[in-house]
């Protein structure tokens, strides 16, 4: 115990003396949480629309103004040639082409039906897809409103209509920030936890101080605890800072209890610090440690369900996410923050995380050698 006290004292002195670490702990969470949630938003806005109007009628004008008056579309190009519109797409100045055929108004009035043509720039597939869906909705709406104009009376429309109304549970306004902020906080904790531990230990290897420690009677477990505890505390501090920012800037108040969040985070940090430790036992230089962490982080983030829904991943990728500690924490954070889940709901997640913590730390302790 006394040995551990001396090691912890040393570690904290070093951390607080390193301005780079202090900056990392304070500034990184603040900046990431202030900037990323605004940018990482799925809602597609500002779709650049090129209109090919071959009709030049009052209905075509009405349709165009209806589309561009929504916040989703901006009229980027207006012409009467498909080629010139396509050119806009080729130069990436337009995302979507809407072509209105020559006899649009005439057919609409006479034949009671008309056709429109929509082409999307699928280089950004999400944008093309969503843009086409939005525009279809707007056209549908337009369709109904002109029908209403025509059939004023009788009140009963000849055509039955089924309208779907939906309500969004747990996030009624579909505010993306409620969804992203908890996830980004998880990534932050992961990066700080795993990287700081790995770099810290590998740096001692590089400088040679670890050898000096290895020649003392300090036990493996004491040395490892001396490294884990400070970064565990820092991790919980960063979490607190993050939750504070979430509340102050985004007004996010967890629906569940803070105790649940902290309990899971404490366990999660143990697992992630263990991973950092594991990286440090295999890396000989700080560069190696950085690269390994970077690689792991990429996989964890992309397969963690932060940006893309795990449910829509292919089967094999879904299996991968089962081995990704990040995906559990992101899920738990969203459950607790948005749904107000308690311990009973995240029991399985807790047990799995305990498993991760045991495996990573056990492996790290096993592969850390005082003697070669």
Partner 1 sequence: MNQTKVIITDKLTKRFGGFTAVDAICFEVTKGEIFGFLGANGAGKTTAMRMLCGLSFPTSGKAMVAGFDVYKENEKIKQNIGYMSQKFSLYEDLTVKENMQLYGGIYGKSNAFIKQKTESILTELDIKKEANVLVKSLPLGWKQKLAFAVAIFHEPEIVFLDEPTGGVDPVARREFWNMIYNAAATGVTVFVTTHYMDEAEYCNRVSIMVDGKIEALDTPHQLKQTYNAGSMDDVFLKLARKAVRTGD
Site residues for partner 1 per CB under 8 A? 2-3, 5-7, 9-10, 13-14, 17-18, 207-209, 211-218, 370-372
Nearest CB to partner 1, comparing residues 7 and 275: 7
Nearest CB to partner 1, comparing residues 18 and 141: 18
Q: At 372, is the secondary structure helix, strand, or coil?
A: coil
Smallest distance from partner 1 to CB 218, Å: 5
Smallest distance from partner 1 to CB 198, Å: 19
Smallest distance from partner 1 to CB 10, Å: 5
The terminus-to-terminus CA distance of the chain in angstroms comes to: 26
**DSSP assignment of 320-366, as one string?**
HHTT-HHHHHHHHHHIIIII---TTTTHHHHHHHHHHHHHHHHHHHH
Does an H or E element contain 175, and which? none
C-alpha 66/C-alpha 58 separation (Å) is 12
Nearest CB to partner 1, comparing residues 213 and 290: 213
Smallest distance from partner 1 to CB 229, Å: 16
Nearest CB to partner 1, comparing residues 15 and 130: 15
Nearest CB to partner 1, comparing residues 99 and 197: 197
In degrees to the nearest 10, what's the CA dihedral of 271, 276, 281, 284?
170
Angle at 169 between CA 168 and CA 173, to 5 degrees: 50
Nearest CB to partner 1, comparing residues 18 and 43: 18
Smallest distance from partner 1 to CB 27, Å: 21
Smallest distance from partner 1 to CB 285, Å: 14
C-alpha 76/C-alpha 67 separation (Å) is 12
C-alpha 299/C-alpha 187 separation (Å) is 12
Angle between helices 220-250 and 176-207 (to 10 degrees): 150
CA–chain centroid gap for 361, Å, is: 27
Give the residue from 275, 289, 282, 184 showing the smallest Cα distance to 238: 184
Nearest CB to partner 1, comparing residues 15 and 75: 15
Q: At 208, is the secondary structure helix, strand, or coil?
A: coil
Smallest distance from partner 1 to CB 20, Å: 12
C-alpha 292/C-alpha 19 separation (Å) is 24
Smallest distance from partner 1 to CB 204, Å: 9
C-alpha 75/C-alpha 56 separation (Å) is 16
Nearest CB to partner 1, comparing residues 2 and 71: 2
C-alpha 271/C-alpha 194 separation (Å) is 9
Nearest CB to partner 1, comparing residues 154 and 208: 208
Smallest distance from partner 1 to CB 19, Å: 11
């Amino acid at each position: 115990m006394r040995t551990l006290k001396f090691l912890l004292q040393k570690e904290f002195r070093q951390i607080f003396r390193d301005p780079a670490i202090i900056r990392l702990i304070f500034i990184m969470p603040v900046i990431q949480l202030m900037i990323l949630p605004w940018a990482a938003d799925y809602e597609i806005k500002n779709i650049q629309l090129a209109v090919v109007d071959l009709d030049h009628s009052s209905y075509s004008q009405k349709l165009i103004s209806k589309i561009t008056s929504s916040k989703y579309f901006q009229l980027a190009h207006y012409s009467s040639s498909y080629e010139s519109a396509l050119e806009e797409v080729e130069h990436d100045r337009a995302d979507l082409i809407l072509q209105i055929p020559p006899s649009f108004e005439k057919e609409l009035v006479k034949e009671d039906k008309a056709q429109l043509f929509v082409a999307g720039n699928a280089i950004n597939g999400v944008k093309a897809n969503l843009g086409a869906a939005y525009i279809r909705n707007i056209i549908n709406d337009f369709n109904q409103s002109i029908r209403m104009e025509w059939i004023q009376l009788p009140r009963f429309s000849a055509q039955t209509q089924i309208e779907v109304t939906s309500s969004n549970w747990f996030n009624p306004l579909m505010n993306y920030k409620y969804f992203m902020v908890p996830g980004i906080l998880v990534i932050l904790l992961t990066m700080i936890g795993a990287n700081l531990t790995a770099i810290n230990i590998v740096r001692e290897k590089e400088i040679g101080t670890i050898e000096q420690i290895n020649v003392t009677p300090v036990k493996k477990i004491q040395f490892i605890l001396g490294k884990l505890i400070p970064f565990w505390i820092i991790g919980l501090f960063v979490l607190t800072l993050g939750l504070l920012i979430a509340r102050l800037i985004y007004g996010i108040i967890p629906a569940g209890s803070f105790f649940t969040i902290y309990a899971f985070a404490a366990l999660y940090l143990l697992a992630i610090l263990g991973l950092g430790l594991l990286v440090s036992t295999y890396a000989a230089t700080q560069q190696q440690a950085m690269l390994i962490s970077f690689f792991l982080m990429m996989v964890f983030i992309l397969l963690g369900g932060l940006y893309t829904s795990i449910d829509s991943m292919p089967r094999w990728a879904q299996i991968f996410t089962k081995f990704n500690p990040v995906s559990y924490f992101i899920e738990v954070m969203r459950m607790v923050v948005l749904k107000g889940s308690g311990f009973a709901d995240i029991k399985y997640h807790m047990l799995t995380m305990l498993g991760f913590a045991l495996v990573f730390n056990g492996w790290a302790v096993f592969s850390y050698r005082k003697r070669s």
